[in-house]
């Protein structure tokens, strides 16, 4: 089955464009037939949460943003990589901080925790000067809501 790969250079409408891109990918390849509708929705949630985090917090050090999203079916799960040219940050420390200060039903601050709950093998690392890579899998047979801390 065909992979999806797209580079975005404008952060103003990227969250809507990513969702449209994933919908078009499904319409073209019928990926949901092999991984399931729920898995496709979890992919959309995970990608959306990361992109929203980039839009709100990323430091592109004065450079035009470049965000590349790649999604590849891999059996009953989807492999996803999101690369960008931001300065980056310490994801593990931020996740620990989010979990520590989590209130019951917060209005904000759940995005990274939702990303973590929806994914397997979540990895974030610098892959060069001002080049960051987030890599994860969305499995077809897990319930991410059981992994969200309350």
Where in the chain are the domains?
A: 4-147
| Residue predicted with more confidence, 80 or 117 | 80
In angstroms, what CA-CA distances link 84 with 4, 22, 40, 74, 109? Answer: 16, 18, 22, 23, 21
95's CB contacts (< 8 A; 6+ apart) are 112, 113, 116
What CATH number belongs to 4-147?
3.30.565.10
pTM of the model: 0.86
Per-residue b or e along 45-81, where b marks 16 or more CB atoms closer than 10 Å to that residue's CB: bbbbbbbebbeeebebeeeebebebbbebeeebbbbe
Conformational region of residue 149, where left means phi above 0, alpha means psi within -120 to 50, and beta covers everything else: beta
- Looking at residue 150, its pLDDT comes to 44
| Residue predicted with more confidence, 1 or 124 | 124
Digit-coded pLDDT (tens) for 81-131:
999 999 988 887 877 776 565 554 455 556 788 888 889 999 999 998 889
Give yes or no for residue 62 having a pLDDT over 50. yes
With vertex at residue 67, the alpha carbon angle to CA 64 and CA 72, rounded to the nearest 5 degrees, is 165
- Looking at residue 91, its pLDDT comes to 82
- Looking at residue 24, its pLDDT comes to 95
Rg (CA), the chain: 15
Digit-coded pLDDT (tens) for 19-55:
999 999 999 999 888 888 889 999 999 999 999 999 9
- Looking at residue 51, its pLDDT comes to 95
Give yes or no for residue 144 having a pLDDT over 60. no
């Amino acid at each position: 089955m065909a992979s999806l790969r797209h580079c975005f250079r404008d952060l103003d409408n990227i969250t809507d464009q990513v969702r449209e891109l994933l919908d078009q990918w499904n319409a073209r390849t019928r990926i949901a037939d092999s991984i399931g509708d729920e898995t496709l929705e979890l992919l959309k949630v995970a990608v959306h949460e990361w992109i929203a985090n980039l839009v709100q917090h990323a430091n592109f050090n004065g450079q035009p943003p470049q965000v590349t999203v790649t999604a590849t079916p891999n059996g009953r799960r989807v492999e996803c990589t999101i690369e960008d040219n931001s300065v980056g940050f310490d994801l593990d420390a931020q996740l620990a901080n989010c979990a520590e200060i989590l209130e019951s039903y917060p209005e904000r601050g759940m995005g990274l925790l939702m990303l973590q709950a929806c994914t397997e093998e979540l990895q974030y690392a610098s892959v060069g000067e001002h080049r960051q890579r987030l890599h994860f899998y969305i499995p077809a047979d897990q319930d991410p809501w059981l992994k969200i801390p309350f």
